[in-house]
Structure 1
Amino acid sequence: MRRFVITGHRACTTGDFKLDDLAGGAGRLDILVRCANSSLFLSHGIRKDVEVYLVLEGGDDAPKTVIFKGEHARYLNPDERSTASLIRNALMKPVGKDEEVQSTPGVYVTRMSFSDVLRKLSEDGKIIYLKEDGTDCRDYEFPDNPVFVMGDNQDPTPEEEAMIESYGPDRICLGPVSLHANHCIVIVQNEMDRREA
């Protein structure tokens, strides 16, 4: 299983945002939507071996995490508006502290924080921190069950970085220039696909 964790520092945690204002009123939710799509979609299908954890940290109801599980995903289309609508539907579901509520097939919402997500996923996966000063991905041997961690348009805060580092992550970089988070995901997927082919 390949897992991607993206933290949205200002991403709205309630479902009251407008689908035509994802970059503004929804707190840069557009970035998380692109990351989900880049993680899950193939040209004519959905990756069944991928899970995406979108950690939303904006607003009074934070934190919440929306999870996409490719193996069970239905009604998922490659346009941003459709994915944002699935996220909004998930955020409108009432969810208790230790619950994981399914809103549509393959889409879930929880009250897990960034640290909760890392703790859960580190139990059976290796944390990999995508960072400009890491090992070049072309010289890196990807482990089974990798958990790729990245920020949105902001780097992880010092506290978040300390949490990541506490798991002894592998640090990898994807090239000599900084890239958008969703582009990083496409490159990682391609590197792994090529090696598994």
Structure 2
Amino acid sequence: MKDFVIIGHKALTTGDFSLNDLPGSAGRMDILCRCVNSALFLSHGMRRDVNVHLVLLGEPCPGKVIRFNGEKLKYLNPDERSSGSLIKKALEKDAIEYETQSTPGVWIRRAGLEKLLTEFKDAGRDIYYLKEDGEDIREYADFNTDAVFVLGDHMGVTEEEEGIIGKIAKQTLNIGPVSLHSDHCMIIIHNELDRKEA
């Protein structure tokens, strides 16, 4: 499996938001919805070997993780409103320490960035942090296709979060000379992995 971790600093942590106003009332949930779609959709298909982990840090109760699993996912269409609806349904569930399934292929639990990344590290997974000043992904020889990629949202990553990631990540990578949106980065990462696997 390939795993993408996206940090949503403003994303609401209750289902009390309008699907008609994902950028505003939901705390830039539109960014996370685009990331879900970019990570999972192919032309006329879906990537079944991908997990997307949304780390929600917005009000009123920060510290929830929603996981989309491509292998088991149903009811997702390639538009922001569709992924927003699945996130909304997940947030209507009580988030506890263990994952609770809200719809097929979507789970929610109470956790934060450090806990999530530590679990990946303990499982022997390679974690890569995507940042503009990282090593070029095309020049990094020891690049694992079964990896975990960490990206920030429109606010980037805080100094505290960068400290957490820096202690756990195997390498900081960049995907090119120009700063891109997180959802665009994910498509380029997939393209690099597709080429490597081919």
Q: Which amino acid aligns with 1:113?
A: G
CA shift, 1:95, in A, is: 2.4
Q: Which amino acid aligns with 1:19?
A: L
Partner of 2:162: 161
SS at match of 1:11: coil
CA shift, 1:46, in A, is: 1.1
CA contact (8 A) 1:124 1:145 kept: no
CA contact (8 A) 1:15 1:89 kept: yes
CA shift, 1:20, in A, is: 1.1
**Structure 1: gaps spanning 5 or more residues:** none
Distance 1:61 1:47 in 2: 31
Matched, 1:138 2:143: no
**Structure 2: gaps spanning 5 or more residues:** none
Distance 1:125 1:65 in 2: 18
TM-score, normalised relative to structure 1 = 0.96
1:1-197 to 2 correspondences below 5 Å: 1-96=1-96, 98-122=97-121, 123-141=123-141, 142-197=143-198
Distance 1:185 1:19 in 2: 24
Distance 1:168 1:39 in 2: 20
TM-score, normalised relative to structure 2 = 0.96
Runs of 4+, deviation exceeding 3 Å: none
Distance 2:26 2:39 in 1: 21
Distance 2:131 2:94 in 1: 35
Give the root-mean-square deviation of aligned CA atoms.
Answer: 1.0
CA shift, 1:134, in A, is: 1.1
SS at match of 2:138: helix
Distance 1:152 1:168 in 2: 18
- In percent, how many aligned pairs have the same letter? 53
Distance 1:33 1:11 in 2: 11
CA shift, 1:177, in A, is: 0.7
CA shift, 1:145, in A, is: 2.4
Q: Which amino acid aligns with 1:147?
A: V
Q: Which amino acid aligns with 1:37?
A: N
Instruction: State how many pairs are aligned.
Output: 196
Q: Which amino acid aligns with 2:192?
A: E
